[in-house]
Structure 1
């Protein structure tokens, strides 16, 4: 067993799986970062290159997705945010089709028409949106369907701390609690709503306390610990599957990079200390110290992640671009 004062005791096999998932996510984000900037030099042009437009990457927030989705199954639903890659990968979205979509290619999830903020995979029951808080009521609807059909499935609704100030957040929690729906609300508190600190936008110290107003359990994971996220998510998902109704988990996580690529982050006074809070080396060092993994095993995990991600990029680049003459396809008239 792993002795962890942050996440309790954890089976070594589970710890290895969580670490592998976090490594895959980080490898993916680093690779997308490389590809995104490759043809935007020497002068950054957000509209140029193989991946034009905005790009929101989740480096530093890996523990949330890995810890939560370790408890989901294929038929469960996940609705994510505009920063979605970590949850998409953790919930089993096809990495090739997802990458092709990010590159705007016809073999993508949305045939190259949605881009990285609009990833929809019906087979994985995954969706996301660039609209703040949009996925919360969608997840409540999915949970209502699961409840009516008595499938035993759970919906995971992911939002940032800024979305917790939207009306959709409160409406969703109220209805989920009223109807005792199987949904888990996950708030990723990375401390910044674009350039606005949480302290300047939110009247409570933690959004977890807001759960009590709707008659559901609310808990906060304070240190971006994947062990603690795994533990709390396990309780919430089990409660939902057993008919106990919704729960809320807020994780104090970390945005290692900018809100979007090209963000100079001049508003952040904490940048100097950010690398020291990186959850991936923290978890890696813990696993090494506890003898759960050795250096060779860690390198093997990293090599496998690199292979999978590079294969996905190759797949995406080999997929054709959409034909401009067919711009009207798949659009509701």
Structure 2
């Protein structure tokens, strides 16, 4: 590992590389390095353990900018990891070589040079890329994002090829290039200006109709259910109260999408139960424990709903691990 450090006041700059490590140590080192700088992920290394990567990390007062290049890798942020390692911060991902794909639910966005992606680690997602990708990742503290309009946990694509987007991309690139010349206060001011520009761009996306009205309610309800489906008392009324809407608003938003609060909650619980049943790391859990952990209060109701949804019993699905 090769590391250099520059620490004026509370601002730190650190360079890290896997190039000096033994090939068998690189993948494990990278997982710990990413955990330290971001949060808990699962990883898939398409090229095996002989993995190459390097970062330059700038950090001060909650903001962090990571410039990285690496071989191909898949990062997976699941509901289980969110529970084990909660993190409400946002990430602004700006590739300038190669392409990255971000998958959330059944949708995905692909980012390349001239674009940026705004994502939140409070919701499940996957980030995948091939060899020789280079990108910048700015961590925006949740407290800062909460003071700013236009930030949503769902992934959004920002165009950096015109207007405010060009200014935003230039500021992020300059922030990285000048890493050796900052004090904490100056770094914080620059990051806050970047957040303001990002907010302005995301607000324009929403104003154009990308996520307004009932669509916004539906999106928030779905996120809330994904994160809380294992709570046995979760229902439409609880969702409405916790999100600050009326039950009628929640029902109308889901009706527009062809479902109901009850159906949405049951579907998420069933999907979560199926994921647990086929996870080798959870093989020690009994089927009853999986059912209760997934929010079902009755084992018989769980079995019937599971069979109807997947065409197989929980025991048969668990048998796929054998």
The answer to which structure, 1 or 2, has the higher relative contact order (CA under 8 A, 6+ apart) is 1
Instruction: Return the structure number with greater strand share.
Output: 2
Q: Is TM-score (shorter-chain normalized) higher than 0.5?
A: no
Larger Rg: 2
Task: Report the TM-score when normalising by structure 2.
Answer: 0.26
Calculate the TM-score normalised by the size of structure 1.
0.26
